[in-house]
Amino acid sequence: MKLGYNTNGFAHHRLKDAIRILSGLGYGALALTPDVHHLDVTQPGWEGEAKEIGKILDDLGMARVIETGARFILDTKRKHHPTLIEASSHLRQIRRDYLVRCMDLATMVGSPLISFWSGKSEAGNGPLEKLRDGLVEECSLLVHEAAQRKLLIGFEPEPGMLVETTAQGLDLVEQVGHPAFCLTIDIGHLHCMGENIKDSLDKAFSKTINIHFEDMRRGFHDHLPPGDGEIDLAAVMDQLAEKEFGGPVCVELSRHSHDAVATATATMDWFQTNGFAKKWGEMVPRDLGKKA
């Protein structure tokens, strides 16, 4: 297991600088969110930068995953639009093409997976049953593209979206029915939605390939640094260690870019103080970490 950090928490830094800062702090993984300011795959010439980023990550020995939660990269006025559940097939195609391009980015930088979500159910999109069936079709098309590139998909349940709970995510995984279609679990989202974190992780563990990590308060979708919310994050890390989770555990604090370095430093301090980190962000059992 590698402890990492999402680049959406370094929105005001150059991507190369952010990577080197995070590596220097001890993070062993990078959750790369291509965005208008970081490796914008919708613009010409991104491939050259992608090769450079891949080499930097190789040189630093950092694991990497591709996240796709950029807010306005496809629609400058509507956050996270268009989605996979739009009424318009043209708009769905725009999102699907973007995700396929992110798969090409994943291949280029050496990421084994990409992560995405469904989008919100809004007036005009159609009845829920139709939206769910349509989402299964879209995800089936995308997992075919991923499998051709030998990639995995980590689908993320997101509060307020069509698929927002672990149970709904597992149901989607079953309906898509492809071994490359798995889950990204966000720890804060579980608490926000009122789920029992331990039970949800137990149920979803065999299908989970990617973890987002942060604190949160129940009923409020607001990503917080460890200790600023209500979650017993040490217990979560113990559970992941006990289950020998082998994927990345990446901190997601997209609203803290104004104080990115201090926030990333304090978060790594939390991992180290609680005995969860050593050099390069590798996970260690808490009792060993406390003796170090």
Domain boundaries, the chain: 2-291
Report the distance separating Cα 129 and Cα 26, nearest Å: 45
Residue 67: is its pLDDT beyond 80? yes
User: How many CB atoms within 10 Å of residue 2?
Assistant: 21
Average pLDDT over residues 139-160: 98
How many angstroms separate the Cα of 105 from the Cα of each of 50, 58, 128? Answer: 7, 15, 32
Phi then psi for residue 6, to 5 deg, are: -85, 135
How many angstroms separate the Cα of 176 from the Cα of each of 82, 152, 155, 206, 292? Answer: 21, 13, 11, 16, 45
Residue 183: is its pLDDT beyond 90? yes
How distant is the alpha carbon of residue 28 from its chain centre?
Answer: 15
Of the pLDDT bands very low, low, confident and very high (cuts 50, 70, 90), residue 100 is very high
SS3 at position 281: helix
pLDDT for res 289: 38
Residue 10: is its pLDDT beyond 90? yes
N- to C-terminal Cα separation, the chain: 18
Of the pLDDT bands very low, low, confident and very high (cuts 50, 70, 90), residue 278 is low
Q: What share of the chain is helix, strand, coil (3-state, %, to 5)?
A: 45, 15, 35
Residue 40: is its pLDDT beyond 80? yes
Tokens representing 128 are 């829920």
Report the distance separating Cα 67 and Cα 154, nearest Å: 9
pLDDT for res 282: 52
Report the distance separating Cα 92 and Cα 82, nearest Å: 7
pLDDT for res 51: 97
pLDDT for res 117: 98
Q: What is the mean pLDDT of the chain?
A: 94
In the chain, % of residues over pLDDT 90: 92
Of the pLDDT bands very low, low, confident and very high (cuts 50, 70, 90), residue 125 is confident
Report the distance separating Cα 239 and Cα 231, nearest Å: 13
Residue 189: is its pLDDT beyond 70? yes
In the block, residue with structure tokens 């050259």: 48
C-alpha neighbours within 13 Å on the C-beta side of residue 116:
33
Across 54-63, 84-93, 276-285, least confident range: 276-285
For the chain, count helices (H), then strands (E): 10, 10
Report the distance separating Cα 268 and Cα 264, nearest Å: 6
pTM assigned to the model: 0.94
CATH number of 2-291: 3.20.20.150
Phi then psi for residue 262, to 5 deg, are: -65, -40
Average pLDDT over residues 180-203: 98
pLDDT for res 123: 83
Report the distance separating Cα 239 and Cα 241, nearest Å: 5
Report the distance separating Cα 75 and Cα 66, nearest Å: 20
